[in-house]
Amino acid sequence: MKNDWWKQSVVYQIYPKSFLDSNHDGIGDLKGIIQKLDYIKLLGVDVIWLCPVYESPQVDNGYDISDYYQISKLYGSMDDMDTLIKESKARGIKIMVDLVVNHTSDQHPWFIESRKSKDNPYRDYYIWSDQPNDLTSNFGGSAWSYDEKTKQYYLHFYSEQQPDLNWENPDMRRAIYKMMNFWIEKGIGGFRMDVIDLIGKEPDKKIKENGPKLHDYLKEMNEYTFGPANLITVGETWGATPEIGHLYTDAGRKELNMVFQFEHMNLDKQPGKHRWDLKKLDLIDLKDVLSKWQDSFSEDGWNSLFWNNHDLPRIVSRWGNDREYRELSAKMLATLLHGMKGTPFIYQGEELGMTNTNFESIDDYPDIETQNMYKDRLATGFSKEEIMQSIHMKARDNARTPMQWNSSENAGFSTIQPWMKVNTNYRKVNVEQSLVDPDSVFFHYQKLIALRKEKDILIKGRYELVDHDNTQVYAYKRIMDDQELLIVCNFYETPADLHYSEGTKEEDIGILISNYPDSPRALDHLLLRPYEAVVYEFNKR
């Protein structure tokens, strides 16, 4: 296997709680995933990113881990995990696990020990202080909580039940590496590293992200764990710029393969404010940001490509059109992303064009982040309507509703009421329906993935933006040696023009994929229909 196999891969993300419930308790589980491996294989992906399935009190849906070596009973057993790894492998699919090591649960034995006394051997596994400063938690409120027992404050950048680990402590680091090696020996294919840009924190200096020792820790981690194993590694880095992205991903630095950067995902919020403070996306901004990341990584380092994950609303509702153009716009967004250079990630249900929710009650949004925000904003004078509007647009729970398998009750996810409400459109939007319709969003994704395997230019070709100032069409080229692709995407529901005069004859222009059956080839004056997206290939004579 080639060292950079992950450059040719496409990753499918599974949120286990909402994928498939095999034992009828309303919660998705590992056996449910195993049952659907053939479905995932049909899509054509190479890697599954599995969100946390470890022992956890589930305050933050498993991102609060109380035992890194155990599978939560909610999801099954270690035998199920071994079976999942084995059965995936038999289908040529690797399992990338979630690595949550910025913090643990407050129920982790390390923290239970740590809070017992100031001289406990585990005291320094976490961060304690006599005096809190004004650092805030990403889930609202102070990042410090007072602990009665030893009369000090501990740090938590997320909920009170997610105390931050102290990466300055070499014993703690060694314990983490040991745990990582346990999973590597089990045969996993890689790690997705949760909020990894926080591990270099220096709370006294109010440094949260991108602390001075962050990259030393990652180099050390690489050396002691996955470095020699040829795995896929992706860091979640909300605060990365392209310069910072290179520190993580330039090959010679021996840190990670790629990071999730979120600059494009922040374009529809008011600058300097929170993502709940909505703003319309400007297509030119999107071109600028994505092109910057494409251009910056044309030589060294590597990009990840994504629109969705379990923390983001559904892209078709966000920047597409989830009403009359749901399928066309879902395919357009997929084409735009999968034509770019990098490793694409697909989040469960994205391949069906699953949409945001519109539940009326805050009680139908269990996520701790949303619940906290709702209370905070009510207290500071926002109206319920305003808050619910933000939730419908941006809440993480939009992505966390059960996967829609068929039109039977609970969308075929479970025979009982699921842990979270099913999206009301499941009778129309579901897997069964997608698989009988050759024009479905699913088959468009399947084709995009297959094209990556056929056309090396999609992996290696250089990116070049076309017609920057066009406010409606996002167009770019991929270039490799004497080959060239042109990707054009009408981002809106009104028809749009693109002038692209290469003087190429129509018979020399092939269409690799399109979301209309009869896309035009007259490139000197292209007229694109609503959300039309085409990948053109120029046949060299």
β partners of residue 235: 193, 259
Could you tell me the CA-to-CA distances from 200 to 38, 136, 464, 506 in Å, in that order? Answer: 40, 16, 35, 55
State the nearest-atom distance from the C-beta of 33 to ligand GLC, in Å: 18
Nearer Cβ to Ca ion (25/467) = 25
Binding residues for Ca ion (CB under 5 A): 21, 23, 25, 27, 29
Q: Are 127 and 87 in contact (CB under 8 A)?
A: no
Planar angle of CA 431, 435, 439, nearest 5 degrees: 115
- Cβ within 8 Å of residue 373, ≥6 positions away: 140, 276, 387
State the nearest-atom distance from the C-beta of 211 to ligand GLC, in Å: 17
Residue 85 touches which of ligand GLC, Ca ion, none (Cβ within 5-8 Å per kind): none
Residue 311 touches which of ligand GLC, Ca ion, none (Cβ within 5-8 Å per kind): ligand GLC
> 210 — alpha (psi -120 to 50), left (phi > 0) or beta?
left
Residue 25 touches which of Ca ion, ligand GLC, none (Cβ within 5-8 Å per kind): Ca ion
The catalytic position among 46, 220, 236, 350 is 236
Nearer Cβ to ligand GLC (102/414) = 102
Nearer Cβ to ligand GLC (95/496) = 95
| Exposure letters 379-394 (e unless 16+ CB within 10 A, then b) | eeebeeeebbebbbbb
Instruction: Tell me the two tokens of residue 373.
Output: 């925000």
Q: For Ca ion, which residue has the nearest CB?
A: 29
Is 194 among the catalytic positions?
yes
Q: Are 197 and 237 in contact (CB under 8 A)?
A: yes
In terms of C-beta density within 10 A (0-12 exposed, 13-18 middle, 19 or more buried), how is residue 504 classed? middle
State the nearest-atom distance from the C-beta of 315 to ligand GLC, in Å: 17
Cα torsion 409, 391, 162, 347 to 10°: value is: 60
State the nearest-atom distance from the C-beta of 173 to ligand GLC, in Å: 19
Alpha-carbon gap, residue 476 to 470, rounded angstroms: 12
Residue 27 touches which of Ca ion, ligand GLC, none (Cβ within 5-8 Å per kind): Ca ion
For residue 428, give the DSSP letter.
T
Residue 155 touches which of Ca ion, ligand GLC, none (Cβ within 5-8 Å per kind): none
SS3 category, 195: coil
The catalytic position among 21, 64, 80, 194 is 194
Residue 100 touches which of Ca ion, ligand GLC, none (Cβ within 5-8 Å per kind): ligand GLC
Nearer Cβ to ligand GLC (208/310) = 310
Q: For ligand GLC, which residue has the nearest CB?
A: 63
Nearer Cβ to Ca ion (172/422) = 422
Residue 47 touches which of ligand GLC, Ca ion, none (Cβ within 5-8 Å per kind): none
- AA identity, residue 310: H
Binding residues for ligand GLC (CB under 6 A): 60, 63, 100, 158, 194-195, 236, 310-311
Nearer Cβ to ligand GLC (47/448) = 47
State the nearest-atom distance from the C-beta of 198 to ligand GLC, in Å: 9
Alpha-carbon gap, residue 484 to 34, rounded angstroms: 40
Nearer Cβ to Ca ion (55/236) = 55
Quick one: three-class SS letters along 161-184?
Answer: CCCEECCCCHHHHHHHHHHHHHHH
Q: Are 100 and 65 in contact (CB under 8 A)?
A: yes
Is 236 among the catalytic positions?
yes
Q: Write out the catalytic residue numbers.
A: 194, 236
